[in-house]
Structure 1
Amino acid sequence: MKLYSLESNDPRRLGPYRLLRRIATGGMGRIYLARQEAPGTPASPAGPTGTVVDHGLVAVKTLLAEGMVSRPDRERFAREVELAGRVDSTYTATVLDANAKAERPWLAIEFIPAPSLAELVVSAGTLPADAVRWVAAGAARALVELHGLGVVHRDIKPLNILLPQDRPRLIDFGISHAHDHTSSTTTIGTFAFTSPEQACGKKSTAASDMYSLGATLFFLAVGRPPYEQTDHSFGVLALVQRAELDTSGLPTELEPLILPLLELDPERRPAPSDVLRDVLADLDRAAADQGAERWLPQAWTALIEEYAEQGRQLRDGALDFEAAEAPTQVKDEGAPDGAHEAVSEMREQLEALRKQRDALVRAQSEERAEAEARELARQEEEERRRREQARKEEAERRERERKEQERKKKEQREQRERERKESQRKERERIAREKTETAAKNKSTGATAAKQPAKNSGSSEGWGGLLVVALIIGALIWQPWDKKDDDTPTSSPTPRFTLSSSGGGTSGLGGDDTETDSSSSSSSSSSSSSGGSDDTEPEPEPETTSPEPDPTEEAFKAVSSGDCLDVVDTGYGGLTKYDWSEEKPNTTSCGYGTRVKVTSTADDCPSGVAKATWSYYSTSSGERTALCLTGQYRQGDCLLAKHEGSNISSIAMLSSPNCTDRKVPVAYNEILVVTDIYRANASTGTEVCRHGQYDMNTYWSTKVDDGATLLCLKAYD
């Protein structure tokens, strides 16, 4: 155990405690080994309770201060005293006495002569799997009790967990906070053991302690923090912010215990009670309460015993601190006059030099803190620019894809229009051929009938025969027996795709064969008249055709629940009406950038944020088809919005404009970009959107997925 002699700027007494040695010095305070004065002596006034209790050796913590203690430091120390006083656990250091209102505030806690986990790993090596589980059980028990009291430690690390022979002990509540004190500040502990949300400047929660516990257990098993090794503290901080882990060397049997604690998402980390349950299930419950000898390697237990023995010697008085501290008075008879004054002056100069050194150390510490803050701000700015560039590139890619899709759709429409016109042209040509061939057949039949009477008539009957022939030809051309009414042609064209076999021929789409339906029937009638037969071919029944299918209705009916659609709200329908970018739904893969997804094909769609109904009524079938839609979002997506004053009054949740568009539909005047997406609960709000204390952007937020997801939005720059 390393104990340091008191220096000239160290106090010699705090409250009823006489300081013996300095144990450690932190960034804001010092911890001393002290002994309480005997009760009843003038130097031991009563504590806050009015009585003096002899605690033997104690650890006394106080603030580092030159002159008067500042009000913020005193308030912070008072909060630490209040929080530490809440905790009464066998797995933490017990608070014995305190006075936050003293000239130099102090806090007396139980003195635990034991090494920290950090010193044990450095001096005695790493732990096997069961020993890691035993330490995890003790630390989890401490956190169960702390979190149950509403206290978040915020600085779990190997240096703050002492390991005596019986059980791990959690110490140092210097930056702890309670749930009723969360509005003041956020804290970044030791970089390698802090959580990603703390490293990003966000508020610490109980889940932050669990991440730090996971990093500490990894350190026990592997001998290093769970990140790639680097000598630059800001490099470590960047890795922590993104939770970029290097888990090489972690034993496989410890992965189920440690890796869930190192999840980037705080909500996915287990609670301390879950960790305690799992490790006790892996350990023998009866043996889990046994001491260090049952679980730890011999090198660890030897070092723990050395600390314990030194603690016993200190308590028993085997080490005489008073003799070591008593000033030695030596009178130099041969010293010249004024020698003692010279020595005193040298001592004063030395004291002044020590004060200058302390001031220089503090100034250097402040400069380092400022440099770290500037570097952190620079990294955040670089990260912001990188995200902005990525969003811009993604917007350009999506714009290129949109234009390519529009080009392909235009080509498809033009191709269909060309095919339709070509089909109409061929149909007209077929009908014209049928009419021409029918007229030619009628003329041929009339000429044959005219020759027959000419052969049998004499010259005296020429004019009469000619008159009869003319009448016959006119009757054949007029064919009054085949007319149904004055507006119906004798031979109507066969509809497209209809096959007819009344005359032995077929009509195909654009074919060259000629149908012989009603024209063949006329020829048969003429033949029977000239030949005297009464048999006539019956007129064919008109064929009935089913109504043309509705392609839009078919497109709607082809969509299934879970499909994604290549369609967005253009925003030109205004604030209360959707204007879809397509006339009918086109399914697409549910990949990056797809805005609309079908949740159901029921008639009654649910309402809510980012939900819509797209329906179609077919006049052909008389049926209505409905699609229930919801929005899908990714970081970097853009949405149309209406900005009124400092508020966003409306957002087109199913829109997807180009983020760099200069013009927007008249109902809107803003383009918002999705900066972050978080899992949400009832208490999640816009405050999670800010990226550290240097982020000066204005954010808005909205919840989708029935409140389970929060979108962070800001105006696109």
Structure 2
Amino acid sequence: MKLYSLESSDPRLLGPYRLLWRIATGGMGRIYLARQEAPGTPASAAGPNGTVVDHGLVAVKTLLTEGIVSRPDRERFAREVQLAGRVDCAYTATVLDADAEAERPWLAIEFIPAPSLAELVVSAGTLPADAVRWVAAGVARALVELHGLRVVHRDIKPLNILLPHDGPRLIDFGISHAHDHTSSTTTIGTFAFTSPEQACGNKSTAASDVYSLGATLFFLAVGRPPYEQTDHPIGVLALVQRGELNTSGLPPELEPLILPLLEVDPGRRPAPSDVLRDILSGLDQATADRGAERWLPGAWTALIDEYAEQGRELRDGTVDVDAAEAPTQMKSEGTPEGSDGASSEMREQLLEALRKQQDALARAQAEEQAEAEARKLARQEEEERRLREQARKEEAERRERERTEQERNEKEQKERQREESERATREKTATAAPKLDDSKGWGGPLLVVAAIIGVLIWQPWGQPDDDTPTSGPSTPPFVSSSDSLDHIDSGTDTSSSSSSGGPDYTEPPESVTSTPEPDPTEDAFKAVSYGDCLDVVDTGYGGHSEYDWSEEEPNTTSCGYGARVRVTGTTGDCASGVDKAAWSYYSTTSEERTTLCLTGQYHQGDCLLATRDGNTVSSIAMLSSPNCADQMVPAAYNEILVVTAIYRATAGAGTEVCRHGQYDANSYWSINVDDDATMLCLKAYD
């Protein structure tokens, strides 16, 4: 393994540990090889599970900082120490000791003399399919243990997986990300191995670890990350954010294992326990638990042996640390070029060490700059999302105002039409009624004259009796608009006049059937299929009892990260549940109703509208999606809750599983969705 001499800026003691070598320097932290040799301290101490652990050689991590450690950095480091201290399993490096309140905070963990998967691939080549499965089983076991403790690693990558003979060991539980000022649960690891949701600045979940495992296994099998090669880290980040994979070169027999892990949608990735079960079912059960020799190529086992031998020498003290630091001292004293062969060899070792240090520092600076750019990009995307949400909210309010104004105008128009109709009726009645002036006594005679004229016109004496047949064409009866034209006798001559001199009657025209105009909204509803995801959310302005959708007609969208609703039916027979809804549309053109059955999709970091009274949440708009930082909410609600974690629902599980350690003082609520199969942890957004 590569060991570097201590620099003048490096401490010599951290707690009871004497620092011997510098192992690695990352963007935010530094790792040392140390031994517990401080005077007055025991040679062993109780480990996290109460057993006595012989510290011997340990790896000590500390913050990479200059001057006084700030309070926020110290608090983040303390949270990371507490998180790593919860882990005590055979597949990770054991935490031995820590002091987050020291002048320079530190964390001591078990020293594992083994190469990383990154170094093995670079130095010894890629792995065959069975060897990849064996490594995958070991890492999957570690993730099952971690996730069972509600710990998300957040930075699974080849460099953070050591491989001794007895199987993979996970190291580095995010200490190097203690400087991430965005959120304690939002991280962007090494770009080529991070998940799309992490690359977009969203929260890291157990599914994020699964994606990183898939990228790591791809690296073991192919020798590169699963993306197009680019020299700029931001270019890699953009590919990860869009989920643009390049899986060429992946052996076909490994596709069923690796490709499901690289699903862009976190909800479609398998759980580590499912991965482990599938791998073990395919491996030879008699040899599944054997060590590296059974599975790994010779070049891999040779390098693992070299590390193990070096570890034994370091523990036995046969490596002289003071002599190893001599090249640095000789360089400062200016040893001449003409010295003997031993001095020349030391100078070469020194130059090589300096070159490696410079390379490491350059990489650290590049990674730090890339991470800063990534955080800036994530903040910009969050601001753009906030502006989009604000614009959508304003658009919803505008449509609501327009709808209210339109209803008022229609009501006023109908009222005016009714008044005009009543006025026209009164005027018509007044015009049609005879105005008789009886002031001169003519009213009576005029009525008599009118009656006589009416009788003469009627001529009742000329009408035949009901039982007397008549000759000649008869006058057809009057046909109202509601009668059928079939009621008219087609044999009657309607072109001649009646015997009484009545008007001619002509055959009414045949009715014309017109084709109804298409209804685009109905077409949009009928175009939606089962399994589609829609770009629509409940704005909350409909209150607790009604949905007020952000769109007037459905628009399908990708079901990847960020989609809030999925269509579970189009027949109208929708199931009920807290996360379910029905969205229907009645077309006046076809006189048909189209109904879509919807269910919510949830991700860590999503926000929901809620009504809260103290510690009681009485209602939650489960299909809403407000901007988490909104200062105003619809009148029916008074709180915004954020999804902090998503777990598989189990009997008796409550909000106690939502807490992040014993010092977490937040108030949490939980709710079951997905037909009680999934539990969401919620807290007030702050």
Aligning the two structures, in what range does the TM-score lie when normalised by the shorter sequence?
Answer: 0.5 to 0.7
**Equivalent residue number for residue 80 of structure 2:** 80
CA apart distance, 1:575: 9.7
The within-5 A match list for 1:299-698 is: 299-325=299-325, 370-375=372-377, 479-480=464-465, 492=477, 507=490, 599-600=571-572, 611=582, 629-630=595-596
Is contact 1:194-1:208 (8 Å) kept? yes
Is contact 2:156-2:209 (8 Å) kept? yes
Is contact 2:17-2:34 (8 Å) kept? yes
Q: Which amino acid aligns with 2:311?
A: G
Q: Matches of 1:576 and 1:71 in 2, distance apart?
A: 43
Q: Matches of 2:258 and 2:269 in 1, distance apart?
A: 10
- TM-score, length-normalised on structure 2? 0.55
Decide which structure has the larger Cα Rg and report it: 1
CA apart distance, 1:370: 4.7
Structure 2 vs 1, CA of residues 390 and 484 (structure 1 numbering), >3 Å: closer, same or farther?
farther
**Equivalent residue number for residue 241 of structure 1:** 241
CA RMSD of aligned residues (A): 6.4
Instruction: Tell me: higher relative CO, structure 1 or 2? Use CA pairs within 8 A at least 6 residues apart.
Output: 2
Q: Matches of 1:388 and 1:300 in 2, distance apart?
A: 55
CA apart distance, 1:376: 5.0
Moved more, 167-176 or 46-55: 46-55
Is contact 2:26-2:176 (8 Å) kept? no
- TM-score, length-normalised on structure 1? 0.53
The within-5 A match list for 1:45-64 is: 54-64=54-64
CA apart distance, 1:60: 1.9
Give structure 2 stretches of 5+ with no counterpart.
335-358, 394-458, 500-514, 530-541, 547-552, 558-565, 602-620, 624-633, 636-644, 654-671, 681-686
CA apart distance, 1:57: 2.3
Structure 2 vs 1, CA of residues 225 and 16 (structure 1 numbering), >3 Å: closer, same or farther?
same
Is contact 1:116-1:158 (8 Å) kept? yes
CA apart distance, 1:389: 12
Q: Which amino acid aligns with 1:160?
A: N
**Equivalent residue number for residue 273 of structure 1:** 273
1:230-277 Cα distance to aligned partner (Å, 9 max, x none): 222222222222222222222222222122212222222211111111
**Equivalent residue number for residue 214 of structure 2:** 214
Q: Matches of 2:40 and 2:374 in 1, distance apart?
A: 45
Q: Matches of 2:44 and 2:300 in 1, distance apart?
A: 38
CA apart distance, 1:201: 1.6
Q: Matches of 2:593 and 2:673 in 1, distance apart?
A: 19
Is contact 1:313-1:319 (8 Å) kept? yes
1:399-428 Cα distance to aligned partner (Å, 9 max, x none): xxxxxxxxxxxxxxxxxxxxxxxxxxxxxx
Is contact 2:115-2:307 (8 Å) kept? yes
Give structure 1 stretches of 5+ with no counterpart.
333-356, 392-473, 508-512, 523-550, 566-573, 579-588, 617-624, 636-651, 655-667, 670-678, 684-702, 711-717
Q: Matches of 1:609 and 1:54 in 2, distance apart?
A: 56
The within-5 A match list for 1:253-272 is: 253-272=253-272
Structure 2 vs 1, CA of residues 577 and 598 (structure 1 numbering), >3 Å: closer, same or farther?
farther
SS of the counterpart of 1:59? strand
Is contact 1:31-1:59 (8 Å) kept? yes
CA apart distance, 1:144: 0.8
1:643-702 Cα distance to aligned partner (Å, 9 max, x none): xxxxxxxxx999xxxxxxxxxxxxx99xxxxxxxxx99999xxxxxxxxxxxxxxxxxxx
Q: Which amino acid aligns with 1:260?
A: P
Q: Does 2:161 align with 1:139?
A: no
Structure 2 vs 1, CA of residues 66 and 278 (structure 1 numbering), >3 Å: closer, same or farther?
same
Moved more, 318-327 or 375-384: 375-384
Moved more, 488-497 or 113-122: 488-497
CA apart distance, 1:149: 1.2
**Equivalent residue number for residue 42 of structure 1:** 39
Is contact 1:48-1:99 (8 Å) kept? no
CA apart distance, 1:109: 1.7
CA apart distance, 1:65: 2.9
Is contact 1:15-1:45 (8 Å) kept? no
Q: Matches of 2:593 and 2:201 in 1, distance apart?
A: 44
CA apart distance, 1:9: 1.5
- Number of residue pairs the alignment of both structures matches: 486
Q: Does 2:110 align with 1:110?
A: yes
SS of the counterpart of 1:61? strand
Structure 2 vs 1, CA of residues 600 and 59 (structure 1 numbering), >3 Å: closer, same or farther?
closer
Structure 2 vs 1, CA of residues 28 and 590 (structure 1 numbering), >3 Å: closer, same or farther?
closer
Is contact 1:153-1:175 (8 Å) kept? no
Structure 2 vs 1, CA of residues 384 and 134 (structure 1 numbering), >3 Å: closer, same or farther?
same
1:583-636 Cα distance to aligned partner (Å, 9 max, x none): xxxxxx99859x99964489x9999986478999xxxxxxxx99684577999x
The within-5 A match list for 1:223-234 is: 223-234=223-234
Is contact 1:12-1:19 (8 Å) kept? yes
1:169-208 Cα distance to aligned partner (Å, 9 max, x none): 0001134999xxx974411111111112211222211111
SS of the counterpart of 2:286? helix
**Equivalent residue number for residue 544 of structure 1:** none
Q: Which amino acid aligns with 2:263?
A: E
Q: Which amino acid aligns with 1:42?
A: P
SS of the counterpart of 2:312? helix
CA apart distance, 1:305: 1.8
**Equivalent residue number for residue 250 of structure 1:** 250
Is contact 1:13-1:19 (8 Å) kept? yes
Q: Matches of 1:106 and 1:609 in 2, distance apart?
A: 49
Is contact 2:132-2:221 (8 Å) kept? yes
Is contact 1:155-1:176 (8 Å) kept? no
Q: Does 2:9 align with 1:9?
A: yes
1:524-559 Cα distance to aligned partner (Å, 9 max, x none): xxxxxxxxxxxxxxxxxxxxxxxxxxx99xx9xxx9
Structure 2 vs 1, CA of residues 514 and 112 (structure 1 numbering), >3 Å: closer, same or farther?
same
1:15-49 Cα distance to aligned partner (Å, 9 max, x none): 33322211111122211122332xxx736468876
